[in-house]
A = this chain, B = another copy of it.
Amino acid sequence: MGIRIGIFGYGNLGRGVECAIRQNQDMELVAIFTRRDPASVQTIGGAPVLSADSVERMTESIDVMILCGGSAKDLPVQTPMLARLFNVVDSFDTHARIPEHFANVDSEAKNGGKVALISVGWDPGLFSLNRLYAAAILPEGTDYTFWGKGVSQGHSDAIRRIEGVLDAKQYTIPVEEALRAVRAGEDPVLTARQKHLRECFVVADENADRERIEREICEMPHYFANYDTTVHFISMEELQRDHKGIPHGGSVIRCGKTGENGENRHIVEYNLKLDSNPEFTASVLVAYARAAFRMSCEGQTGCKTVLDVPPAYLSACAPDELRSKLL
């Protein structure tokens, strides 16, 4: 029998987790929990769908619960609640609130004798790991994170809230010249505007004032005002045909110096190009579910992050196989 997994929340991320589990022979999906009517939920692989309210009855049947709710409202409540009952993994990604989330989850996980891995994904997650490795190895240096080209859900939502907008998709795009300068080791100081462009595809109501919509987007504080923003008005048909994917990606780059007088320069870059942001994030969650299970079997408890997990714990392969094949 493999590691018994539960999925809590079944949107894009939950479906991605369901698919990812099928790629890992040492895991089995026990149940999917939803707050909707379970009978209304159509899954990909036919796993049992149960009501979120019944989760407490499943503590003996599930080794790790993967939480697939949102960071704004779901996870701040769900992760502490479920960490008392299960080993859990979540993708909490509100960077500024991670310390608070960590503290809340840590006390519940310790009370329950469980392991909780939070903020698992690619940023926070794999990008964080790469910021850490590069900074520890090259203490004298500068870090850069670029995102995109990819869809920002938050920015797309912000556009959709404007009056007269029926639907919208926003792409975050790294500025090529900035990427070139960083990769060339020029150590540039870059403003938000110099690092990323924002390109918006907007479906407007036929009676709406497009000039006003474009102005409201470009002047929106925090989201767009500090960036060079391009707005394209397109039809609903075009949006659904050409912009249905959820691609994303980006780069973490560190430029550091070594030597007697810092005379040698080193560039470390980690780069992701993802066709599907939720499916890739789901694949990261599933690998860390394996790690959470192993840490729990060792007797560890409390809240952890990707920074605490020995890399070998992510792999289904045995340590000696990893050493002979991957090292």
Contacts and interface: CB of A to CB of B under 8 A. Distances in A.
A218 interface: no
Given A273-B267, A311-B129, A324 B98 contact: yes
Contact of A259 (B95, B267, B269, B279): B279
Interface string A149-189: 00000000000000000000000000000000001010000
Contacts of A308: 310-312, 319
B310 A323 contact: no
Interface string A263-281: 1111111111111100110
Nearest to A265: B275
Contact of A126 (B133, B256, B307): B133
A46 interface: no
Given A128-B326, A314-B136, A314-B137, A279 B258 contact: yes
Contact of A133 (B23, B305, B311): B311
Contacts of A276: 258-259, 264, 266
Interface in A279-327: 279-280, 282-284, 287, 290, 305-312, 314-316, 319-320, 322-324, 326-327
A307 B327 contact: yes
Given A98-B324, A323-B102, A266 B272 contact: yes
Contacts of A124: 327
A24 interface: yes
- Which residue, A259, A264, A279, has most C-beta atoms of chain B within 10 A? A264
B266 A311 contact: no
Contacts of A260: 19, 44
Nearest to A307: B312
A270 B270 CA distance: 5
A327 to B, nearest CB: 5
A135 interface: yes
A128 B311 CA distance: 10
Given A19-B260, A133-B311, A315-B132, A95 B266 contact: no
Contacts of A6: none
A129 B323 CA distance: 11
Given A133-B311, A133-B314, A307-B312, 7 more contacts: A137-B314, A259-B279, A264-B276, A306-B327, A307-B323, A308-B312, A311-B311
